Structure 1
Amino acid sequence: MSMTAGNGHYNRPQGRRKRLNRHAPIAEINMTPMVDVMLVLLIIFMVAAPMLTSGVPIELPESEAAALAADKEPLSITITTEGKVYIQDAEVAMEDLVTKLTALSENGFKQKIFIRGDESVAYGEFMRVIGHINAAGFKSIGLVSTNGGGTN
Structure 2
Amino acid sequence: MAGTRKFVKPSTPPNSEINVTPLVDVVLVLLIIFMVVTPLLEKDIEVRIPETEDVPVEQMPQDNSQLIVKLDADGTYSINADPVASDDYVNKLKRMLAAKTKEDRVVFFVADDKANYGKLVAAFDGAKQAGAFVLGMATEDIPLAPAGAPAGDPGAAPAPAPVQ
Q: Please, what TM-score do these two structures have when normalized by structure 2?
A: 0.44
Q: Please, what TM-score do these two structures have when normalized by structure 1?
A: 0.47
